[in-house]
Amino acid sequence: MEIRKPKGTNDILPEEVRKWHAIEKTAMELSDVYGYQEIRTPIFEHTELFVRGVGETTDIVGKEMYTFEDKGNRSITLRPEGTASVCRAFVENKLYGDNQVHKLYYMGPMFRYERPQKGRYKQFHQYGVELLGSNHPVTDAEIISFATELLKKMGLIDLELQINTVGCPVCKPVYRQVLIDFFSEYKEGLCPTCNERMEKNPLRILDCKNKECIEIAKEAPSMTEHVCEDCGPHYESVKGYLDAADVDYTENPRLVRGLDYYTNTAFEIIAKDFAAQGTVCGGGRYNGLVGSIGGKDVPGIGFAMGMERIILLLSEKNIFKDSKKILDYYIIALGELEEIPAFALLKKLRDHSYFAEIDYTGKNFKNKLKYADKSGAKSVIIIGENERKNKTVMIKNMETGQQEEIDLQLFINNLKEER
Ligand code: ATP
Ligand code: MG
């Protein structure tokens, strides 16, 4: 029986990979402009990292992790997100030593056990950034404006940036109790999951996708009414900096984000006409995270973008121009004796960075010419018995159809001059 890929994974075929290259390049170039350096961490980590760093009450840790025991009986998890790993690497490699702000980015596959659907997969890819070492509200604004700018540069339009504050260890517990008191009145109306969330993580009820829960949550008191004297001004400041940078935003008091370690600013960027899986970027401040995984108390803020969702949106809008590379030369050797000089010439062309191919397929001249035509090459180089003996090549310009016999050495010398 034919073996198929696991559900929720994707083969990214060459034509599609070209689109990936385009957005990866944009991401890397803008990372340079904003001063973020790449960090690469392992695809799997000790399960404990995510349990502590993401939080036991989250959907990710509760339901979505790919966890297994390895042959040494260690509990291992395929990374479901990047922030915990980056913070672990930050602590483990003592990058905090110099009291500087550290700006890192990562790109790569993440794994979550989810029900696959359009824009939602079990293996998906994220580009994400982390800014560690500062709690200054200007860093919140820098991260947010970087995210919006990057999506714009990639070609996405009609995006909505939503922001909120989720408080800190001082005001979050107070708000938590306010929410528990509020939602307790509506226990029957809430879905079973939200009833479970009530005690463990009532903020998540605000984030529930269930219709009845949404209706009830609309009336819930908002965090902004309960922020402490640190968090209130911090949030106001962030908005001030966003205004200064001309970043448009909508305040959404129900935006909480799925992860436990978020403090203060939370934000999401949503594609308006892509309803269900429309969130392309999520981020926020996580001042408690580095400390919780055993490091010093280092504040941080970051975001992660879903690359598949970005590509889906861009493809639907036909943003990608075909960037397929056009062949410079297609070489045809007419007989067996001509194959050696043809292969030597192929190597010379590639040495000079020309995109060149040799005919591996054709049986006779007519056939070979047909393939040459199909290849879309700008020029075809033909080496027959005559050319071999005369040490020349026949060059056919495929645009004009003109043919010309040129001395082989002269042709090679000219290559050097051209590039
Ligand atoms: P959602 O509410 O859609 O499940 P999330 O809050 O779980 O998103 P984050 O953990 O914030 O998502 O991840 C950041 C981004 O990564 C998301 O905004 C989304 O674009 C992308 N993403 C998350 N999970 C998936 C997935 N299973 N498949 C594809 N992309 C995903
Ligand atoms: Mg999710």
Residue 155 CA, distance from chain mean position? 14
CA 220, CA 66: separation in Å to the nearest integer?
Answer: 34
Domains of the chain (ranges plus CATH)?
Answer: 14-171+227-316 (3.30.930.10), 329-418 (3.40.50.800)
* Ligand 1 pocket check for 175: Cβ under 6 Å: no
| Residue 168 Cβ contacting ligand 1 at under 6 Å | no
Q: How far apart are CA 185 and CA 318, in angstroms?
A: 49
Ligand 1 touching residue 306 (CB < 6 A): yes
CB 261 within 8 A of CB 54: yes
Alpha-carbon span 301 to 290, nearest angstrom: 11
Spatial separation of the C-alpha atoms in residues 232 and 237, rounded to whole Å: 9
Among protein residues, the one with the nearest Cα to ligand 1's atom 2 is 279
Low-confidence ranges of the chain (pLDDT < 50): none
Q: Which of 309, 311, 314 to mutate to test the pocket of ligand 1 (most atoms within 8 A of CB)?
A: 309
Atom in ligand 1 nearest the alpha carbon of residue 128: 14
Nearest CA to ligand 1 atom 24: 120
Q: What per-residue confidence (pLDDT) applies to 14? A: 93
Q: Given this model, what pLDDT does residue 258 score?
A: 59
Pairing between strand 250-251 and 159-165? parallel
**Angle, CA 268 vertex, CA 19 and CA 24 arms, to 5°:** 20
Backbone dihedral angles phi then psi of residue 225, each to the nearest 5 degrees: -80, -10
What value does the mean pLDDT of the chain take? 92
Contact residues for 400 (Cβ-Cβ < 8 A; gap 6+): none
Predicted TM-score of the model (pTM): 0.91
3-state secondary structure the chain: CCCCCCCCCCCCCHHHHHHHHHHHHHHHHHHHHHCCEECCCCCEEEHHHHHHHCCCCCHHHHHHCEEEECCCCCEEEECCCCHHHHHHHHHHCCHHHHCCCEEEEEEEEEECCCCCECCECCEEEEEEEEEECCCCHHHHHHHHHHHHHHHHHHCCCCEEEEEEECCCCCCHHHHHHHHHHHHHCCCCCCCHHHHHHHHHCHHHHHHCCCHHHHHHHHCCCCHHHCCCCCHHHHHHHHHHHHHHCCCCCEECCCCCCCCCCCEEEEEEEEECCCCCCCEEEEEEECCCHHHHCCCCCCCEEEEEEEHHHHHHHHHHCCCCCCCCCCCCEEEEECCHHHHHHHHHHHHHHHHCCCCEEECCCCCCHHHHHHHHHHHCCCEEEEECHHHHHHCEEEEEECCCCCEEEEEHHHHHHHHHHHC
Tokens describing residue 362:
């054709």
Ligand 1 pocket residue status of 126, Cβ below 6 Å: yes
Report how far residue 376's alpha carbon sits from residue 326's, in angstroms, rounded to the nearest whole number. 7
| Backbone phi, psi, residue 129, to 5° | -130, 155
The residue type of 287 is N
210 alpha carbon to ligand 2 midpoint, in Å? 14
Contact in structure between 257 and 281 (CB atoms under 8 Å): no
CB 32 within 8 A of CB 153: no
Helices 307-316, 14-34: crossing angle, 10 deg rounding: 110
